[in-house]
Amino acid sequence: MLYIYIFADNEIIEYDGELAADTLVEFLYDVIEDPVEIIGNDRELKGFYNMDEVIRLVGYFKSERSSHFTEYNDAAEEFHPFVKFYATFDPKIAKKLKLKINEVDFYEPFMDEPMPIPGKPYIESEIVEFIEQHDRPTLRKLEPYSMYEIWEDDIDGEHIVAFAEEDDPDGFEFLEILKEVARDNTDNPNLSIIWIDPDNFPLLVPYWEKTFRIDLSSPQIGVVDVEDADSVWMEMDDDEDMPTADELEKWIEDVLSGKIDPDDDDDDDEDDEDDDDDDDDDDDDDDDDDDEDDDDDDDDDDDDDDDDDDEDDDDDDDDDDDDDDDDDDDDDDDDDDDNE
């Protein structure tokens, strides 16, 4: 296995993503950026709101020289570049963000409302601890630069995985339903859904389709065992509308309760193997019967041949005896003639 470590500003960053040149280069560009991005105008504020696919924090501070901002910046270095940190020193921007001085809000991916970090003003360790307690979002996107790290962060050896192309109409519709379900269940610590956009991983699509036995040309959601890749997928008809939020939520509840379990696929595989073994045994029995019949036929043929040989021998013996008798008669006649 190949390990890649990046040393930057007294920090050691482990790269745990796709081993592709373009992905690695893009990641390195993110690394050399400042750990905290400053929001100074409405255009930059709009850019902040558009970054809804990742975990992000935003704080309001008096200035860059503020000791509270220094603590915030130090915390940002611990998670850079995987978690996005923003800050503003503009009271007007802070008002639009509904932030008070020295306050920091935590935004979970795809959530409309932030979660204020309690206990302001903060020290670095308090911010770090809060992020570590909330670093598994209800819905998160699999990114090429962190795909292995996310995949290893499973719950009881399983992942709920959703495939949807954001640029596809059906994929977009399904993703919006997925976001709605995630927002309604954001307080459930046992729920974490990984969203994968197949367009971001073109080389892996054939592997996923073969391994999971699904068609990724349409949206899919299933539960996957991370060790053996056994999986169960929600039945969705391509000719019908996408499942409703209630239907999707009911399916997820069945997964979390254990009613839907990828381990059940192991039982099906074992049954199939048993059936195959039975078929093999039947074939072996048939072959044995055929062999026995062939042996019996061969024995019968051998017996017939032996009988024929015996009859031929008897006939030959009889012919020889007749010839001998004829010879004896001829000799006797010759002797009589001589005596006369």
pLDDT for 322 equals: 43
* Delimiting residues of CATH 3.40.30.10 domain(s) in the chain: 33-133, 139-262
pLDDT for 1 equals: 67
**143 vs 134: CA distance, rounded Å:** 18
- Model pLDDT for residues 20-56, shown as the tens digit of each residue: 999 999 999 999 999 999 999 999 999 999 999 999 9
pLDDT for 100 equals: 97
Q: Tell me the pLDDT of the chain averaged across its residues.
A: 83
**61 vs 68: CA distance, rounded Å:** 7
Range name among 87-96, 170-179, 281-290 with the lowest pLDDT average = 281-290
Provide the whole-model pTM.
0.76
pLDDT for 303 equals: 46
The residue among 255 and 3 whose pLDDT is bigger is: 255
* Burial letters 144-171, b for 16+ CB under 10 A, else e: bbbbeebeeebeeebbbbbbbbeebebb
**94 vs 87: CA distance, rounded Å:** 9
| Stretch 312-318: mean pLDDT | 44
Helices and strands counted in the chain (H then E) = 10, 12
| Stretch 124-140: mean pLDDT | 95
pLDDT for 240 equals: 66
Q: Which residues contact 191 (CB under 8 A, 6 or more apart)?
A: 138, 160, 182, 185, 252, 256
CATH match of 139-262 with 3.40.640.10:
no
pLDDT for 340 equals: 32
**253 vs 251: CA distance, rounded Å:** 5
- For the record, the structure tokens of 27 come out as 């990641």
Work out the percent of the chain whose per-residue pLDDT is above 70. Answer: 76
| Stretch 286-294: mean pLDDT | 49
pLDDT band with cut points at 50, 70 and 90 for residue 64? very high
pLDDT for 79 equals: 95
Q: Fill in the DSSP letter of residue 188.
A: -
| Stretch 4-29: mean pLDDT | 92
pLDDT band with cut points at 50, 70 and 90 for residue 265? low
User: What are the backbone dihedrals phi and psi of residue 237, each rounded to the nearest 5 degrees, phi first?
Assistant: -85, 125
| Stretch 138-166: mean pLDDT | 93
- For the record, the structure tokens of 48 come out as 């902040």
| Stretch 109-118: mean pLDDT | 95
Phi-psi region of 157 (alpha: psi -120 to 50; beta: other; left: phi over 0): left
pLDDT band with cut points at 50, 70 and 90 for residue 3? confident
pLDDT band with cut points at 50, 70 and 90 for residue 59? very high
pLDDT for 266 equals: 56
Q: Decide: helix, strand or coil at residue 267.
A: helix
| Stretch 116-124: mean pLDDT | 95
Q: Which residues contact 233 (CB under 8 A, 6 or more apart)?
A: 212, 214, 220, 221, 222
- Model pLDDT for residues 230-247, shown as the tens digit of each residue: 999 999 865 567 899 999
Question: Which residues of 207-330 form beta strands (DSSP E)?
Answer: 220-225, 231-233
pLDDT for 241 equals: 79
Report which of 147, 139, 142 is spatially closest to residue 188, judged by C-alpha positions: 139
**122 vs 51: CA distance, rounded Å:** 24
Q: Which CATH class is domain 33-133?
A: alpha beta
